[in-house]
């Protein structure tokens, strides 16, 4: 089993979000059809793209917050209660800010 490297995971995640955001921005900057009916569909697609862009930008912000916690020596600690988040959770979600107990409590 390989050792969990948070910096590597965060870098990979940031690269993925950045590529996604760049591609979406490129798609949004394209010209629309002169045909009105086609424009309606394109504008609806643009709304979806803007929502996807917002998700990618939010992901980048989450990665930045995780990098700040890593630099401060707080990575892997729940920001709410201070408990350990756990390597299994962090390997799946490297930007996790809360332990499962706090996450469940906030959803309930």
User: pLDDT at position 36, please?
Assistant: 64
Per-residue pLDDT of the chain (108 residues; tens, 9 = 90+): 568 899 999 999 999 999 999 999 999 898 877 776 777 677 888 899 999 999 999 999 999 999 999 999 999 999 999 999 999 999 999 999 999 999 999 887
**Residue 87 maps to which CATH number?**
1.20.120.910
C-alpha to C-alpha distance for 59 and 56, rounded to whole angstroms: 5
User: pLDDT at position 108, please?
Assistant: 72
**In terms of residue numbers, what domain contains 53?**
6-107
Residue that has been written with the tokens 């299994």 in this structure: 88
Structural domains of the chain, count: 1
- 1 belongs to a structural domain: no
pTM, whole model, 2 decimals? 0.84
Q: Is 82 left (phi over 0), alpha (psi -120 to 50) or beta?
A: left
Q: How large is the angle between the packed helices 36-71 and 6-28, nearest 10 degrees?
A: 160
- 26 belongs to a structural domain: yes
- 92 belongs to a structural domain: yes
User: pLDDT at position 69, please?
Assistant: 97
């Amino acid at each position: 089993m390989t050792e969990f490297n948070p910096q590597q995971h965060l870098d990979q995640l940031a690269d993925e979000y950045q590529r996604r955001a760049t591609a979406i921005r490129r798609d949004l900057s394209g010209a629309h059809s002169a045909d009105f009916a086609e424009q309606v569909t394109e504008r609806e697609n643009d709304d979806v793209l803007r929502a996807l862009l917002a998700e990618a930008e939010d992901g980048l912000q989450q990665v930045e917050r995780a990098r700040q916690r890593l630099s401060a020596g707080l990575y892997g600690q729940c920001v709410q209660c201070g408990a350990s988040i756990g390597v299994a959770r962090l390997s799946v979600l490297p930007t996790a800010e809360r332990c499962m107990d706090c996450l469940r409590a906030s959803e309930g």
